[in-house]
A and B are shown apart, each in its own frame.
Chain A
Amino acid sequence: MSATSSTAPPDTCDVLVYGSGLVESIAAAALAWQGTNVLHLDDNPYYGGLWASLNLEELKTWTDKINNPTANDTPFSNAYLYISRNLDPRKYAIDISPHVLFTRSDLLNLLIQSRVSRYLEFKPLGSFHTFEQDSFEKVPGSKEDIFTSQNLTLLTKRSLMRFMKFVVIWDETPDVWLEYKGKPISSFLKDKFSLDQPQIVELVHSIALLPSLSSPTELALDRIKRYLTSMQVYGNFPAMYSMYGSGGEIAQGFCRSAAVAGAVYRLGTKLSRFDDESGVAVLENGEKIKVTEKLITSHGLVPGDQEITRMVAVVEKDCKEWFAEGESAAIVVFPSDTLDGNRYAVQALVLGSGSGQVPTGQAVWYLSTQESGEQGRKDLFLALEKMEESILRESTEDFEFDVSEEDIAYLPNGMPVVSSVRLGESLRNFTPKESLKYLLKLTYTQKVTVAPQQNPSSKTIYVPAPSIDIVYDGILSQAQAVYESVTGTVEDFFDVDFEDEDDDATATGNPPDTSIRDVADMDDENLGDHQDFDEEVAGEMTI
């Protein structure tokens, strides 16, 4: 009576996928829905591969493994791990390649279209801070922020508005930027829009999330636009993160989707050999599997020339001072040259217990820099120190704020707001009595890895390791490239007619285009006149 296939293990498949990282998992799901017979293995007992989120037991094993690699098979190295006693290992999910998802991105569109988003929970990420002169300033990422900012001169506001008006349609106006295409974004912003250094720093490091002010103009413009147009798609935040972990969780969702479409899953199963000629795969236990089409693997990559230094710290503080109301996440950026001469920016993703990654009352800080080696570690430790000082200051309750009238700005609806820079400055000399308790500290290095040279007729398709970028850019096109090398086309990639639409699913697939015009419509000429400015804001903002 029961299905016959559930007893005998399959000894043949069209495509064998080895590794359950994000790209392989998206490809596996797309192939399974297209009708390909997929067998999906991972040598780890958990999903996510190089993207995984690990509990503390798994994290210890992972650390040992990358410090004693059996083969040249991991992009990670140099792990130092400290874990405080008496932590419940299962209450933590440490993300080894943390990423954030902008609300306008190809991956999000695929998540919605494929219904995989239903397996996941996304939370808003609306707080982007730039560290400057020992305090954190919230990035003015919208015209409202620019209007109400007390730290910008009228001239700066006008330049910024002029730039924001341009950047949302930058790709339609190449005459403005074409000569700067591959040149540093900082020169472009300075020459063409007369922006000052602090604004350039914020735009490049905190809004575009790029590591260096000399990042190419074209890339930077694309990412600044994405930030701005991602605002207000789902609310007052440009980005989101998935609960319990980033790429590893999303990969799990795609694996489940693949399984629903018929793919078979085997974790903790090592592939010993693959004969590219005959297509025979041999598992560690001697089992043989005939692969009729392709092997898709994230193993056997070779190191490239870029690397990133990472640090994870779990602190006994909820860090809510850094989060917007109702949120549990923030990005804090230390621009280049703010930490004793750091060459590259240090990015920190701060997640509170609302992320499901740490218990209540704690937060996890994910720091990273493209600086390598000892210098990279040094930069991260300096940043950690600054964050520690800052959170202790900001979370001290018995401290009396010395705020004068000029520190307070008024929103158009009359609501007063305290300028966060002023607050930071007046707090600077405060020495906290308490210290911050670290429950976990981990540092490690992650190399960019690339596919080895191979024969075009090979049956083996290599999948690159996670990018060192904090955004998911390029993931979908990588998965599509894998798909295309199996099926010969991407036209039917996830072209599935789901007919199980229920009352919850009224989605059209893509978020509506709301904010581009909103930003572009701003008339910077009105900025000079305070009366006009008030009216305009009152007419456009909904607070």
Chain B
Amino acid sequence: MAVARDSTSSTRFAQFKLVLLGLDSYMLLSLLADGRLFRLSCQTTGCTDCFAYLGESAVGKSSLVLRFVKDQFDDYRESTIGAAFLTQTIALDESTTIKFEIWDTAGQERYKSLAPMYYRNANCAVVVYDITQAASLDKAKSWVKELQRQANENIIIALAGNKLDLDAKRQVETAAAEAYARESGLLFFETSAKSGENVTELFTAIAKRLPLETASTRQRTAPKGVDLNRPNRRAPAASNNGCTC
């Protein structure tokens, strides 16, 4: 988590770690492939070519973009989405930009073998279930429990019932999931990664809950780790919070 003010434009820029659970990578990809998040990030700069942005700077072209373009989802195995994690920028309002450092579970979710590193310092989490599969909500509930056990006390958790486009095959009633979310203090959305419905709303709702102000004051006092990308006495480069495409 980092917050900085850009001296030239007085925009606030905050970075948060977001973990995704209960979501197979296919869904993550379609969620991102849809481009809505990217469109959102580029609204302020008037950029239209968001797909290029995605290819250039968010994820590995070789792995992800080829998979999009050539539609190779069928033989898609676990997860091959770049080397570290995805980053995703959202312009919350005219002066606030939020960058999500998105961690997917890679091949560590299936056997519940997530490393403590995964939960560590996570500011927010999206736990996804499939509204067409009743069992997936139970699985999501167990991930919520795990988050409450392992992660920061004040982590913001959103529950997302995905595949809203397949409403006809619905097995999980909205009211039941919503009641559970309310009891457990979670944000709740039903989304469709396919159509993009509520995806933007979900991420924006999380962004709005994030503690921007406390983050900025805490950042100043906390001892900083060594920036391995910037050896010896080099002044840190200004954070690039705009769209570069």
- Across the interface, do B223 and A497 meet the contact criterion of CB distance under 8 Å? no
The interface size of chain A toward B, counting residues with CB under 8 Å, comes to: 65
Q: How many residues of B contact A (CB 8 A)?
A: 51
User: Looking at the complex, which of B38-46, B212-220, B225-233 is the stretch in contact with chain A?
Assistant: B225-233
Q: Is the CB of A122 within 8 A of B225?
A: yes
Identify which of B80, B116, B227 contacts A262 (C-beta below 8 A): B80
Q: Is the CB of A327 within 8 A of B223?
A: yes
Q: How far apart are the CA atoms of A364 and B76 in the complex, in Å?
A: 45
Are B111 and A266 touching (Cβ within 8 A)? yes
CA distance A1 to B26 in the complex (A): 8
- Asked if A266 meets B87 with Cβ closer than 8 Å, knowing A327-B223, A498-B82, A507-B228, the reply is no
Is B81 part of the binding interface, using a Cβ–Cβ cutoff of 8 Å?
yes
Contact B85–A259 (Cβ < 8 Å) = no
Binds A, one of B102-110, B140-148, B176-184, B197-205: B102-110
Report how far A352 CA is from B84 CA in the complex, Å. 29
Q: Are B59 and A500 in touch, CB under 8 angstroms? A: yes
B contact residues around A497 at 8 Å (CB): 62
Using known A-B contacts A259-B107, A500-B82, determine if residue A328 contacts B60 with beta carbons closer than 8 Å. no
For A258, list chain B residues within 8 Å (CB).
Answer: 107
The answer on a CB contact under 8 Å between B60 and A326 is: no
CB distance from A19 to the nearest CB of B (A): 14
- Chain A residues with Cβ below 8 Å from B228 are 108, 111-112, 117, 122, 234, 507
Give the distance in Å from the alpha carbon of A504 to the alpha carbon of B107 in the complex: 25
B contact patch SS: loop
Q: How far is the CA of A232 from the CA of B226 in the complex (A)?
A: 12
Evaluate contact between A115 and B107: CB separation under 8 angstroms.
no
CB within 8 Å for A47 and B60 given contacts A260-B81, A542-B233 = no
Given contacts A2-B24, A122-B225, A256-B115, contact A500 B232 (CB under 8 A): no
- The chain B residue sitting closest to A326, CB to CB, is B223
Q: Is the CB of A260 within 8 A of B79?
A: yes
User: B225 contacts A121, CB within 8 Å?
Assistant: yes
| Chain A interface SS verdict (over half) | loop
Q: Does A331 count as interface, using CB distance less than 8 angstroms?
A: no
Whether A520 sits at the interface, judged by CB under 8 Å, is no
Least Cβ–Cβ distance between B66 and chain A, in angstroms: 11
Interface string of B60-92 (1 = CB under 8 A from A): 111000000000010011111111110100000
Chain A positions within 8 Å of B120 at CB level? 244
Which residues of chain B come closer than 8 Å to A46, judged between CB atoms?
116
- Measured between beta carbons, the chain A residues less than 8 angstroms from B112 are 267
Does any Cβ of A come within 8 Å of B25's Cβ? yes
Bound-complex Cα distance A241 to B222 (A): 17
Residue among A240, A255, A256, A496 with the highest chain B CB neighbour number at 10 A: A256
With the chains together, A287 CA to B11 CA distance in Å? 56
**What residues on A are CB-neighbors of B230 within 8 Å?**
234, 506
Contact of A3 among B24, B61, B231, B237 (CB under 8 A): B24
Asked if B155 lies at the interface with its beta carbon under 8 angstroms from chain A, I say: no
The answer to the question of B117 belonging to the interface, with a C-beta cut-off of 8 Å to chain A, is yes
The answer to whether A233 touches B85 (Cβ under 8 A) is no
Flag if A234 contacts B227 (CB, 8 Å): yes
For A353, give the chain B residue with the smallest CB separation.
Answer: B223
Least CB distance from A126 to B in Å reads 11
Choose among B62, B110, B225 the residue that contacts A499 (Cβ–Cβ < 8 A): B62
Q: Does B8 contact A (CB under 8 A)?
A: no
How far is B232's CA from A119's CA once the two chains are assembled, in angstroms? 21
Chain A residues closer than 8 Å to B110, beta-carbon distance: 6, 264
Asked if B244 is an interface residue, CB under 8 A from chain A, the answer is: yes
Task: Determine whether A512 belongs to the interface, using a CB cutoff of 8 Å to chain B.
Answer: yes
CA distance A25 to B208 in the complex (A): 38
> How many angstroms from the CA of A327 to the CA of B130 in the assembled complex?
47
Q: Which residues of A contact B60 (CB under 8 A)?
A: 498-500
New A-B contacts (7) at CB < 8 Å, excluding given A2-B26, A5-B78: A2-B27, A112-B228, A235-B233, A256-B108, A259-B108, A502-B57, A504-B229
Please give me the 6 A-B residue pairs with the lowest Cβ-Cβ distance, nearest first. A259-B106, A500-B82, A121-B225, A259-B107, A265-B113, A503-B240
A–B complex contacts, Cβ < 8 Å, 17 sampled: A3-B76, A112-B228, A122-B226, A123-B226, A124-B226, A256-B106, A259-B105, A259-B107, A260-B107, A265-B113, A354-B223, A500-B57, A500-B83, A502-B87, A503-B57, A503-B240, A506-B230
